[in-house]
Chains A and B, each alone.
Chain A
Amino acid sequence: MTSMSTKTLPGRGDTDQQSTAGPERRAARRGFALRVLARGRQARAAWILAAPFLALFATFMLLPLVWSLLMSLTDTSSADLRTPLNVSFIGLDNYVRLFQDEQFFTALRNTAVFVLVALPLTLAAGLAAAVALDRGIRRFRAVFRVGFYLPVITSIVAVAVVWKTLLEPRAGLVNLVLGWFGIDGPAWLADTRFALPVMIVMAVWRNLGTVMIIMLAGLQSVPQSLMEAAELDGAGAWQRFWRVTFPLLRPALLLTAVTTGIGYLQFFDEPFVMTDGGPLDSTLSATLYAYKQFGNGNYEMASAASYVIFVLIVVLTVLQFRVLRDKD
């Protein structure tokens, strides 16, 4: 340590020794000076690079975000699209009206049922598929992976159309197959008992592939040595999964739970295409409610409803972080 410091001191005399450490040191000093000089240029370049994004972002994200909040606090019935600022503030009246609307509660309840059932099922199915593919399957792995992932990349409208025909009571595939087993299938989408469950099944079918892919990547990062060590210590397959694999997957699981949960809370396209919220509002989701308010020209109610959904998303996300976060 001491010899190092004497070497690098700019001492006169022993130039022989200094020549070994000098160039490095000088280069480092020059690099530092360059960096200080460059900071101004760097900042300018950074703002030039950031400007286009920030301009678009401010116009199409931040402005509408604030505007939406203001809108939910105003009475827009007197205004039209051309004069969006010609409104009067009425405080929380829209929210009060919203929560007095029974239909909104129905929509919230449907959304809650959808999220609470579909989310755990999706996570469990995706995780099971990933574990089975990772440990149990050696051949045709790509075929399985592609097949399970295919629904994820498909247009939800196309999927909804296909499922609608699948579920057709008399000429659909589902009731045909049920008929082989002597079961008289219901009129799925026209039945208040079955319409929402059908959409839950659809959601699980469509999204388990995302969970599977991310979990597969997570599983591949579980060190083989750790598994072997656990096996030698006498841990069974079940124990190895819960004690070794699962804790390591937790961050990936948290991420998929949060992103899938956010998507599920905005559940819209399937009921819009397949049932329009019916029968008897049994598939009316909170987003579909907001959309219908928007369609009827009740912009302030639509904004209020979407802010309620936003708050629910924040609450769900915080809860998920609480439950799934690493416990250190």
Chain B
Amino acid sequence: MSTLSTLPTPHPDTDRVLRRRRIRRTWGQPWLYLPLGGALLLMIAPFLWMFSGSFKPEADIRRVPPVLIPTAPTTANYGELFNSLDFTSMFANSVSVALAVTAGNLIFCSMLGYALAKLEFRGQRAVFLLVMGTLMIPGLVTFVPLYVLVANMQLTGSLLGLILPFLAGPFGVFLMRQFISTLPDELIDAARVDGCRELAIFWKIILPLTKPALATLGIITFLGSWNNFLWPLVVAQNESQYTLPVGLALASSGQSFTRFGILLAGAVVVLLPVMLVFLFFQRQFVAGIATTGLK
């Protein structure tokens, strides 16, 4: 701004130039708000449709052409969802599977991540390459034998069959190793000089310092497990083991158009917890995604 006053000859219309600069500083490029706002509306339209549809009474659902705002909002869809489809137990299944998978990944991946980042041992490189090499292998490739394996372990009838194969994944190792590598070696050396035992160093010194990475990994793993569909669909043998996506998909596949409001209510139940978690932890989450993406 000060450069303006030092210009040899002031601009003939200084006021306008200043005003335009002020607008640009507070708003950026004002003309961009319209197209971006339109794009934003397109992005969230399905969510608006979902919420409005889940409160629509039967009459509105059958109406052609459709109405956007329910004429007489009702929670009947939710009531039927929880009574007839047993969404309560599906919800509990989804939560317990996601929590168990998340806990497993946080523990096992940070342990190996620390060993790979800071400890010296024979075979370190081999372990690293082996684990990282599987990072891009699609789940589908191991799918069939994994099913045979889990079936032979008699686990297809229990939630354990949904949890065990996902307890430890290469992505978590990658993330934790990257993060722990950035912690100073001196910290570990100092602890050793003070007589701290190796495993205690990990537990008491490293783990508390990795909280940001653990938070990122935790959120990503929880979301991944919550939204996982194919595996629980195949392994779950009866309704008592269904997770939310499985229950929702099966409810929707054999459907007639009359169940439309219930399906949208089901979609809300599947999405709402995740949305709330995301809106709440948005900053940490985005930061985590961005840093893993850039390294």
Please give the residue numbers on chain A whose beta carbons come within 8 Å of chain B beta carbons, in ascending order. Answer: 30-31, 34-35, 38-39, 41-50, 52-54, 56-57, 59-65, 67-68, 71, 81-82, 84, 129, 132-133, 135-139, 142-151, 153-166, 168, 170-173, 176, 179, 205, 210, 213-214, 216-218, 221, 251-252, 255-256, 258, 262, 265-266, 268-269, 272-273, 276, 287, 290-291, 294, 299, 302-303, 306-307, 309-310, 313, 317
Q: Contact at A162–B50, with CB atoms within 8 Å?
A: yes
Choice from A68, A137, A307 contacting B28 with Cβ under 8 Å: A137
Return chain B residues, CB-CB under 8 Å to A136: 28-29, 32, 36
Hey, what's the 0/1 contact readout for B135-170 against A, CB within 8 Å counting as 1? 011111111111111011000000000001101101
Docked pose: A221 CA to B293 CA in angstroms: 13
Return chain A residues, CB-CB under 8 Å to B246: 157
Please give the residue numbers on chain B whose beta carbons come within 8 Å of chain A beta carbons, in ascending order. Answer: 25-29, 32-33, 35-36, 39-40, 42-47, 49-50, 53, 61-66, 68, 104, 107-109, 111-112, 114-116, 119-122, 124, 127, 130-131, 134, 136-149, 151-152, 164-165, 167-168, 170, 173, 189, 192-193, 198-199, 202, 223, 226-227, 229-230, 234, 244-246, 248-249, 252-253, 257, 260, 263-264, 266-267, 270-271, 274-275, 278-279, 282, 286, 289-291, 293-294
Q: Nearest Cβ in chain B — how far from A13, in angstroms? A: 31
Q: Contact at A139–B274, with CB atoms within 8 Å?
A: no
Give the A-B pair count, Cβ closer than 8 A. Answer: 312
Q: Contact at A42–B36, with CB atoms within 8 Å?
A: no
Return chain B residues, CB-CB under 8 Å to A64: 142-146, 149
Q: Contact at A50–B111, with CB atoms within 8 Å?
A: yes
Q: Contact at A65–B142, with CB atoms within 8 Å?
A: yes
Docked pose: A41 CA to B200 CA in angstroms: 12
Beta-carbon nearest neighbor of B150 in chain A? A60
Given contacts A67-B148, A71-B144, A155-B245, 8 further A-B contacts (CB under 8 A): A47-B121, A53-B108, A61-B170, A158-B245, A162-B49, A166-B45, A171-B257, A176-B66
Q: Nearest Cβ in chain B — how far from A315, in angstroms? A: 12
Return chain B residues, CB-CB under 8 Å to A165: 49, 53, 260, 263-264
Q: Contact at A142–B282, with CB atoms within 8 Å?
A: yes
Q: Contact at B227–A310, with CB atoms within 8 Å?
A: no
The B interface is mostly helix, strand or loop, or mixed, namely helix
22 A-B pairs whose Cβ atoms sit less than 8 Å apart in the complex: A42-B198, A46-B121, A52-B108, A60-B164, A61-B137, A84-B145, A137-B32, A137-B36, A139-B27, A154-B227, A161-B249, A161-B263, A161-B267, A162-B46, A162-B47, A164-B252, A176-B65, A252-B293, A291-B230, A294-B143, A309-B138, A317-B136
Q: In the complex where A52-B168, A137-B33, A217-B290 touch, is A147 in contact with B40 (Cβ < 8 A)?
A: yes
Return chain B residues, CB-CB under 8 Å to A43: 119-122
Q: In the complex where A49-B111, A214-B294 touch, is A205 in contact with B148 (Cβ < 8 A)?
A: no
Q: In the complex where A48-B199, A153-B274 touch, is A309 in contact with B127 (Cβ < 8 A)?
A: no
Return chain A residues, CB-CB under 8 Å to B260: 165, 168, 171
Return chain B residues, CB-CB under 8 Å to A135: 28-29
Docked pose: A129 CA to B38 CA in angstroms: 12
Return chain A residues, CB-CB under 8 Å to B49: 162, 165-166, 173
Docked pose: A162 CA to B35 CA in angstroms: 25
Q: Contact at A54–B127, with CB atoms within 8 Å?
A: yes
Q: Contact at A156–B229, with CB atoms within 8 Å?
A: yes
Beta-carbon nearest neighbor of A168 in chain B? B257
Choice from B111, B121, B271 contacting A53 with Cβ under 8 Å: B111
